[in-house]
Amino acid sequence: MIKQIWGKLPRKPSKPSINDSNNDGGLHAHSSLNSSNGPNSINNSKLSSNSSKSSNPSSGASRLNNGSLVPNSKVNQGKNDPAKNLKEKDIKRQTLHELVDYISTVTSKFNEIAMQEITRMVAANLFRTLPSMNHDNKILEMFDPEDEEPAMEPAWSHLQIVYDFLLRFVASSETDAKLAKRYIDHSFVLRLLDLFDSEDQREREYLKTILHRIYGKFMVHRPFIRKEINNIFYIFIFETQRHNGVAEMLEILGSVINGFALPLKEEHKLFLLRALIPLHKAKFVSMYHQQLSYCITQFVEKDFKLADTVVRGLLKVLAHD
C-alpha cells in the first residue's frame, strides 16, 4: 500500500467532483461500484424490464394501491423451511415476480400510499435478526474466515426477489427522493446496515448495491450513512473483531471518497485517521485489505499532504501489532 501512496505524491490534487456540489461525498463516475464495470456489483441488466415472467403485471399496481403487499405471516414464518407452506410460498413468489415486473415498467410517479406499502413489504420480508456470533476471545483465536465454508441463507430464493424489487424501486426514475425519504428513513437505512453482517455473500452484494444507490439518490441521508458505517467499524476494531460486511462497506466508501470535493472536510480526514487506518489492526485484515487500500489511496490522491498522516498511522499500528 505504501508504494501506492508514494505513487500518488507527484500528482496535483484533483478538482472537486461535479457530482458533489455540497462536498458531501457524491458517487464518482469511475467508482469500482459502477454498474457497468464493477467486478463485484450486481449486473445492471437486473434493472432492465423482464415482463415475460408475468402475464399480468398490472396486478402489481392493484396490490400497491389496495395495501395488500405485506405477506401472510404464516408464509413468512415458514420461509426458512423448504417443506412448509409450499402452495402459499408459490403464490407469494408469483406475486413478488408480478411486482418486480410492474415496478420495472411503471411510467408514473409512485404516490405516498404505494411508497408506504413498498417499504412495509420490504421490512416484513428482509429485516430480521441474524444468527448471533459468539465473540469470546478463545473462539476468535480459533476462527479463521478464510478457512470457513461460506454460509448460504436457506430462504435466499425468496429474499432475492425482494432485494431485486427494492433495488428496482430505489433505482427507478419514478421514485421521488423527496417523498420517499419519509419511508426510506434513518431507521430503514440502519436496519439495512444491520444486514451487512449476513454470512451469505449474495445477500451482502445486493445490500452493497442498494445502499450505494440510496447514498446517491438521497443526499439527506449521506452524513447519517457515513456516521453509521463509522460506528460499525469502531465496534469491529475495538470490540468484536468480527463482521462479515467490512469489505462491502469499504467498496461503497471507495466510491464515496472518490466524490469528496476539495478542500477535504475535517470530518473526512478524521474518518481516515480514526477508522480506516485502525482497520489494519484487525486479525483478518486480509479479508478486506484490497478495498481498504483503495480507500486510503483515494484520500492521498485527493490531498497528497495526507500521505504523512497515513504512513505515521500505519507505522503506529504496526508497532503495536
Q: What is the pLDDT of residue 319?
A: 81
pLDDT at 77 over 60: no
Name the grid cell of 227. 456516521
- Read off the pLDDT of residues 284-293 as tens digits, 9 standing for 90 and up: 999 999 999 9
Q: How far apart are CA 88 and CA 105, in angstroms?
A: 26
Supply the pTM of this predicted model: 0.80
113-163 confidence digits (pLDDT tens) = 999 999 999 999 999 999 876 544 454 555 555 666 778 999 999 999 999
Per-residue model confidence as pLDDT tens digits over 15-55: 444 355 566 666 664 444 644 344 344 444 444 444 344 44
- The answer to whether 104 touches 49, Cβ cutoff 8 Å, is yes
Among candidates 172, 26, 161, 28, which has minimal Cα distance to 109? 172
In angstroms, the Cα distances linking 277 to 58, 93, 272, 281, 293 are: 51, 44, 6, 8, 10
Q: How many residues does the chain have?
A: 321
Classify each residue of 172-182 as buried b or exposed e, where b means 16 or more C-beta atoms within 10 Å of its C-beta: beebeeeebbe
End-to-end CA distance of the chain: 17
What is the set of domains in the chain, with CATH numbers? 41-127+150-220 (1.25.10.10)
Cβ(9)–Cβ(304) below 8 Å: yes
Q: Report the pLDDT value the prediction gives residue 78, as an integer from 0 to 100.
A: 53
Grid-cell match 431485486, residue found: 164
227-276 pLDDT per residue, tens = 999 999 999 999 999 999 999 999 999 999 999 999 999 999 999 999 99
Q: What is the DSSP string of 197-212?
A: G-S-HHHHHHHHHHHH
